[in-house]
Amino acid sequence: MKPAIFLRYLLSGFTALAMDAMGTVVADEVGTLEEILVTAQKREERLQDVPIQVTAFTADRIADAGIHTTQDFVNLVPNMSLDDSFTYLNTFVVVRGVTQINNADAPVAIVIDGVPQNNQKQFKMNLYDIERIEVLKGPQGALYGRNAIGGAVNIVTRQPTNEFEGFANVSYGRGDAWDFTAGISGPIVDDKVMFRVSGYYKEDDGRIRNTFVGDKVDFIDHDGGMRGRLTVVANENLVLDFRASYQDFEAGGLYDSVVPTTNANDIFAPRSNIVGVTSGDITELTFKFDNDFGFATLTGITGYTDLTEINRGDLDFSNPVDSPGGFFGFGFQAGQGQDLDVKLLSQELRLVSRSDQRLRWIAGAYYIHTDRELLTRAFFDLDGTTGQIENPALNLITLTEDNSNEAYAVFGQLDFDFSDSFTVSVALRYDNDEREQTNLASGLTRQHSFDSVQPKVTATYRLEEDKMVYATYSSGFRSGGFNAPGIPVFQDETLDNFEVGFKTTWLDNRLVANGAVFLQNVDDFQFFRVDAATASQIISNIDKVDIWGVELEVQALVTDGLQVFGAIGTTDSEIKRITTFPGNEGNRTPKNTAWTANAGFQYDFSITGALGGMLRLDYEHRGKKYWQLDNVQVQKPLELIDVRTGVEVDKWGFYIWGRNLTDERYYADYNPSLFSGLPFDIGFRAQPRSFGVEGRFTF
């Protein structure tokens, strides 16, 4: 079905359904949709008052949709995708055509409780005890800074409470997959000192089998973590918040399949003779204060992260039987491994004016220091074990690097109401990123700096109290950086976004329709490739890219128990100029998905007395995916269906769930030979059909 046809059906179908239901089911006394408050613009506002396309998930919606990981909510956001690849923490997020790549900054600002998560490995996470998730689309550099070139994801965890409460949740699914979460909150000193402690633990035998060795490769030996928060109300104006979290994991990784047909739609099982493994841990510490001066609130946020990820696996993704000639025909098998250690220290200070005035403003400053050490090794594989990497006699290639960067920014925003209907917002941010790399083998050091001014101007016109239109010009900046020692620097990526959109509420807040049209001009679009012969991972630039698209989200409350929802997003990217791989002008950018759509419903009903039931269905359409800039390998469209149903009584809930019920077989990541550096294409298998049960208890 063409996007335009689907869009027409989506609009007409949902609107007609809602209108008819509202007109005929008067006796049901239909309520209203949940009013959502967000902090997308660094102050608390109604979602429908924010002139940005934001998809928000409240605590109730997170529970209803069975959202336990970042993958779960990304699947529900149009014009956004998240693909697993390579290691346990490695993912590629794409927003409005702007793409995550290995060893570079993310294309979206990922913020947890106000603290930026500045490493690619931090986006894939287990979501537990979450209050709200906000996904902002389009560049948000003016307030969120560098790397918000595609948008921002704002995750807010649940705060400590002044009354004792808690929860416990357990899920069991296909592959002998267990997932436990629990938490407790309450006062230490009433109204003054409150705490919250929560945690999770999961293990999984996996569902994807390596047909050469016979083992499941997507296993999780263990993945567990805890988070603690302490809130101190020092006085009526000053609130202090302390947060600490820790995660430890060991799981499968590096289980790409060789694709001998070079067709991205031919699905092959992994057959490497080394079963890949990823292990590591993440420690995070945060301190935040809010001091209300009356005319404005001063907020300070200090964050520290220590992240370690170690991976071991096959370099040729093959075995001596299928490839008797060995790695590149050299007569031997080869393995690989990386040791990554990242330390981040950040500080933000911002002063936010009161919201109940005609002129509102924000002013702030930001600083981050990052140390990133990476050891990459390739080794002779004699017996199919990962421990061979520690034997110096089997060493093929060793690359060692230490990357350090200091970045700082100043930013501000002014919002002025010219009338009750017309508001103009102007924002500006300056980012400077100083980078240094040391080749630990040779001792040679190189330095480079990147900076950018990121303006944003938005005009908002309110047609009625609950209907508005807006026009925005905004810009984004993703810093450049260093490839491995001996490989040239890659350039910073900049983007200009022109957007018009609307936010509307109808039928006494029982029907919401939001949408936008955008055009993005990108300079030095970053993309990734591998040179396997030298074990080098290389980031390059595409000189000029144009991206335009459409987004629409609709939600309707048909009756008190029945909600229907749908969304569509189109992303049409075009390479206008490229010097690194000439001849690809006119093609789509890597990992571009032409269009995506979501639709579904949730029905809550009474069974008897206090016993209630729920049924939820989520349908996701993913259009063709263009894996690399030559557009030769294209993934066919996918249709994914998730279902969740259960019963609830008082503080208990019991549910049955299913994901990818049609068992679509596809690759979450695909690397053609030309860009993987290998003599064949490789694909990273996506999760097949899964199903299970879940129980929940709150107190």
Give one DSSP letter per residue of 547-613, joined into a string. EEEEEEEEEEEEETTEEEEEEEEEEEEEEEE-SSSTT-TTSPPTTEESEEEEEEEEEEEEEETTEEE
Query: What whole-number distance in Å separates Cα of residue 169 and Cα of residue 590?
Result: 39
Q: Residue 47, SS3? A: helix
Q: Confirm if 143 and 427 have CB atoms less than 8 A apart.
A: yes
Model confidence at 526, in pLDDT bands (50, 70, 90)? very high
Residue-wise pLDDT for 297-339, tens only, equals 999 999 999 999 999 999 999 999 999 999 888 999 999 999 9
Strand extents, DSSP E, 34-73: 37-38, 45-46, 53-58
Q: What share of the chain is helix, strand, coil (3-state, %, to 5)?
A: 10, 60, 30
Model confidence at 351, in pLDDT bands (50, 70, 90)? very high
Q: Residue 143, SS3? A: helix
Residue-wise pLDDT for 56-112, tens only, equals 999 999 999 999 999 999 999 999 999 999 999 999 899 999 998 877 788 899 999
- In the predicted model, what is the mean pLDDT of residues 446-469? 95
Give the model's pLDDT for residue 628: 93
- The hierarchical CATH code for the domain 3-698 is 2.40.170.20
pTM above 0.85, yes or no: yes
Query: What whole-number distance in Å separates Cα of residue 654 and Cα of residue 656?
Result: 7
- In the predicted model, what is the mean pLDDT of residues 548-576? 96
| 296-314 vs 359-381, strand pairing mode | unpaired
- Assess whether pLDDT exceeds 80 at residue 6: no
- Assess whether pLDDT exceeds 60 at residue 528: yes
- Assess whether pLDDT exceeds 70 at residue 43: yes
Give the model's pLDDT for residue 41: 87
Q: Confirm if 437 and 443 have CB atoms less than 8 A apart.
A: no
| 108-112 vs 151-157, strand pairing mode | parallel
- Assess whether pLDDT exceeds 90 at residue 231: yes
Sign of the Cα torsion 642, 647, 653, 654 reads negative
Strands across the sheet with 592-593, in order? 592-593, 625-626, 634-635
Residue whose C-alpha is closest to residue 490's, from 538, 442, 429, 427: 538
Give the model's pLDDT for residue 596: 96
- Assess whether pLDDT exceeds 90 at residue 155: yes
Which helix (H) or strand (E) segment holds residue 468: the answer is: strand 467-478
Residue-wise pLDDT for 9-41, tens only, equals 444 444 443 444 333 333 334 688 988 999 988
Query: What whole-number distance in Å separates Cα of residue 476 and Cα of residue 142?
Result: 8
Strands across the sheet with 91-95, in order? 80-84, 91-95, 98-99
Query: What whole-number distance in Å separates Cα of residue 115 and Cα of residue 302?
Result: 7
How many residues are given for the chain? Answer: 699
Spans of all domains in the chain: 3-698
